[in-house]
Amino acid sequence: MTDPFIQTFEDTGREGPLAGLRLAVKDLFDLAGVPTGAGNPRWRETHEVPRADAEAVALLREAGARVVGKVITDELAWSLNGTNRHYGTPDNPAAPGRVPGGSSSGSASAVASGLADIGLGTDTGGSIRVPASYCGLYGLRPTHGRVSLTGAVPLAPTFDTAGVLARDAATLRLAMTVLLGGPRAYTPITRLLAPRDVWGEAPASTRDALLPAVEAFGLDVDDTPLFTEVPAYPAPLERGRIAYATLLAWEAWQAHGAWIEDAKPEFGPGVAARFANASTIASTDITAAGRVRSGMVALVRDRLPEGTALAIPAAPGPAPRIGQEPDREAIVRLTCIAGLSGAPAAALPAGRVENLPVGLQIVAAPGSDESLLALADRS
C-alpha cells in the first residue's frame, strides 16, 4: 500500500464557490509546468511538460479549488483495480488491505483519506464509479462530452469522461456544477427502475445491502426487466460488455498503438495483455459491436425519459483484497450501460457487505447530470 500522491503542491487558491477546497488531480490531466505521466514512467519521459492546465483543472482552480497534488492512476487509465506496478497501490482507508479501484485510484484514495476534498478523475468504463463504490464515496460520470477533456490523456475518446469524487453529496454537486458550466434547470427524478434482470448480475449480499437504499428515496420503483431476452441472442448485458470491451480496445490502440510500438513502455501484466489484444481487433468486430452500442443508445432513450432513472449496483461487491484479481467482466456488465449510451451515472455510498462499502449506481438519460446531482443530495 502507498500514499496516493505522485507529487504534492502548495497551491494558493482563489476566491470562488470552491474556495478552501483541496483538489487532487489524476495523473492524466495536464498541470502547467508539471510532467503528465498517465501512470507510466515511459509516457512521462517521452512527452513534453505541458505549458497550460487541462481545461477541467483550470475550471476548478478558477472556481477557487486549491491543487494539493498529482495522484496515481492505473497505467493509461486501462484498469478498474487501482494497482500500478510502477507507483504501487494507493490506500483504501474504507477497506484496509483492499484495492481502492481504478483507474481513478489516487483520486479516490486521496479523498477517502481526507487528504483532498475533490478528486478529479476520469470514467471510461467505470473508473469513477468503481473507486467510489470501493471507497465509500460519491462520484459522477457526466454525460459524454459535457465536460472538456482538452489537456487530458485519452484512452477511448468516444467513452472517456471527466468527473469528480467527493466524501459528501454537497461537495460533489458543487464541483460538478463548476465543470458542467454552472447551474441550469433540470427535471427532478421521480421514478426509479431497479430491473431484476440487471440486479441478478450482483450477488445476493450486494442486492440485500443496496435495495433498501433504492426504496429509501421514497420514489416509484419498478423492477420490470430492462432487457427482453431473444432466444437467438441471449445475455444482453454480456453482449453489451463484449461490445464495450471491443470498441474500447480498438480506440485505445488507435490512440496509443504507435507510441507503444515506438517507445516500448513497460506495462504491468494486465495492461500489457489488454494492449496486445487491442492490436488484433478487426474491422468486422467493430461493426458488430457498433450495432450493440446503437441498441443500448435506443434502450436508454426509450426507457429513461425525463424524471426516470436506472438504479443498479455500481460494482458486484466490495473491493477485492490486494493481490486478488477482480471479476472485471462482472464489473463491466454493470457499468457498460452508461458507457455505451453516453449517459451520466452517479455512484452513491449506499450499503455495506461484511462491513465494507458498496455503492449504488444511478443512471439517467444523456444531459440529465443535474437531475442526478439533485437526487444524490437526497441520499
pLDDT reported for residue 12:
87
Q: Does 233 score more than 90 pLDDT?
A: no
In sequence order, the β-bridge partners of residue 162 are 122
103 part of the active site: yes
Q: Which of 107, 127, 133, 341 is catalytic?
A: 127
Work out the angle at residue 272's Cα, subtended by the Cα atoms of residues 284 and 81, and round it to the nearest 5 degrees: 100
Q: CA-CA distance, 346 to 217, in Å (whole number)?
A: 15
Q: Which of 70, 79, 103, 341 is catalytic?
A: 103
pLDDT reported for residue 234:
62
Provide mean pLDDT across the span 314-335: 96
pLDDT reported for residue 1:
59
Sequence spans of domains, the chain: 1-379
> Exposed (0-12), middle (13-18) or buried (19+): which is 367, by Cβ within 10 Å?
middle
Local structure of residue 39 (DSSP, 8 states) = T
Q: Which of 26, 79, 368, 371 is catalytic?
A: 26
Provide mean pLDDT across the span 191-196: 98
pLDDT bin (cut points 50, 70, 90) of residue 96 is very high
Q: How many CB atoms lie within 10 A of CB 113?
A: 18
Percent of the chain having pLDDT more than 90?
Answer: 94
Provide mean pLDDT across the span 358-371: 98
Q: Does 75 score more than 90 pLDDT?
A: yes
Q: Give the chain's mean pLDDT.
A: 96
Q: 238 vs 230, which has greater pLDDT?
A: 238
Give Rg (Cα) of the chain: 19
26 part of the active site: yes
Q: Does 139 score more than 90 pLDDT?
A: yes
Q: Does 332 score more than 90 pLDDT?
A: yes
| 12-39 residue pLDDT tens | 889 999 999 999 999 999 999 999 999 9
Q: Does 307 score more than 70 pLDDT?
A: yes
pTM of the model: 0.97
Length of the chain: 379
Identify whether 105 is preceded by a cis peptide bond (ω within 30 of 0). no
264 part of the active site: no
pLDDT reported for residue 229:
67
What is 1-379's CATH topology? Amidase signature (AS) enzymes (3.90.1300)
